[in-house]
């Protein structure tokens, strides 16, 4: 299984990559700073899971989500956001995210969801 982590913060990206690698169940962990960079670099690879920073509640996050869904149609997409709230989660899930987590407040839950995904 291949997982792609997309976040413009090196610190957050490195923390998430390290946590995923400790799970030991993913074959490859790929990294990108930007959505556009991820699509360009990893289009041919077709990752199984994409965890992407989709920013705060704004239109740009929805546009980025649409690009990910189009570029990686078979991937399980996790939207990592900097805001909590059911309205945002509902909107992102209605636009194609398979899961949505506040990457600060729900970091542990996001990792648990990845573990559950592996168990299926």
**Residue 84: predicted pLDDT:** 67
**Residue 24: predicted pLDDT:** 76
* Tens place of pLDDT per residue across the chain (120 aa): 889 999 989 999 999 999 998 887 767 889 999 888 888 888 888 899 999 988 755 577 788 888 899 999 999 999 998 876 778 888 889 989 999 999 888 999 999 999 888 777
Spatial contact of 71 and 39, defined as CB atoms under 8 Å apart: yes
Domain parsing of the chain, residue ranges: 2-119
Spatial contact of 68 and 79, defined as CB atoms under 8 Å apart: no
* pTM (two decimals): 0.89
Question: What does residue 83 show for φ and ψ, rounded to 5 degrees?
Answer: -145, 145
According to CATH, what is the number of the domain 2-119? 3.40.50.2300
Provide the token pair at 35.
Answer: 């959505």
> b/e string for 84-113 if b means 16 or more Cβ within 10 A?
eeeebbebbeeeebbbbbbbeebbeebbeb
**Residue 109: predicted pLDDT:** 94
CA distance 118 to 120: 5
Question: What does residue 50 show for φ and ψ, rounded to 5 degrees?
Answer: -125, 125
| pLDDT averaged over every residue in the chain | 87
């Amino acid at each position: 299984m291949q997982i792609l982590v997309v976040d413009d913060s090196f610190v957050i990206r490195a923390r998430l990559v390290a946590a995923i690698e400790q799970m030991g169940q993913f074959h490859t962990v790929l990294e990108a700073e930007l959505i556009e960079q991820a699509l360009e670099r990893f289009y041919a690879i077709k990752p199984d899971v994409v965890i992407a920073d989709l920013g705060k509640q704004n239109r740009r996050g929805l546009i980025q989500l649409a690009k990910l869904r189009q570029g990686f149609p078979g991937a399980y997409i996790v939207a990592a956001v900097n805001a909590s709230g059911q309205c945002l989660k509902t909107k992102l899930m209605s636009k194609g995210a398979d899961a949505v987590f506040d990457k600060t407040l729900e970091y542990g839950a996001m990792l648990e969801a990845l573990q559950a995904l592996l168990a299926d």
